[in-house]
Amino acid sequence: MTDYIFEMTFKVRDYELDAEGIVNNANYLHYLEMTRHEFCTNAGISFMQMRREGIDPVLSRVEIDYMTPLRGDDEVVSRLSLERKGARFIFIQDLYRADDMAQAAHAVVSCVSLENGRLSRGDKLASYFSEFLDN
């Protein structure tokens, strides 16, 4: 069982659907990114603030398992957990259909942090996430 540290909900919008009436696979990336952005804001640093401080989180790997399709007007529960492995921040993210909590997708998203344009260990970014990371 994953120990989630953040959760948000949102509705699928009609323009996110493909010809079959289900969410196009590329939109799952948007959902995952939206959740990470909201998490960061909730943790005390928005992406605009990161940019002003010279911090640029950059994705290094994304793995997604698609499980149950999402459809128009579905409400989605998006959850994430976070761990740190060396310089990488690993987000474990799960999307669920809210009406029956069927899992729609599971993702493992890795990112690294650039500081002032240079690859860093990510300590500056980690300071904002300290309450969520095991030290």
Written as six digits, the tokens of 9 are 């909900």
3-state secondary structure of 88: strand
User: Angle at the Cα of 10 (from 25 to 113), degrees rounded to 5?
Assistant: 70
Catalytic hit among 18, 65, 73, 123? 18
Q: Is 18 among the catalytic positions?
A: yes
Structure tokens at 130: 């300290």
Cβ atoms of 95 and 78 closer than 8 Å = yes
**Residues annotated as part of the active site:** 18
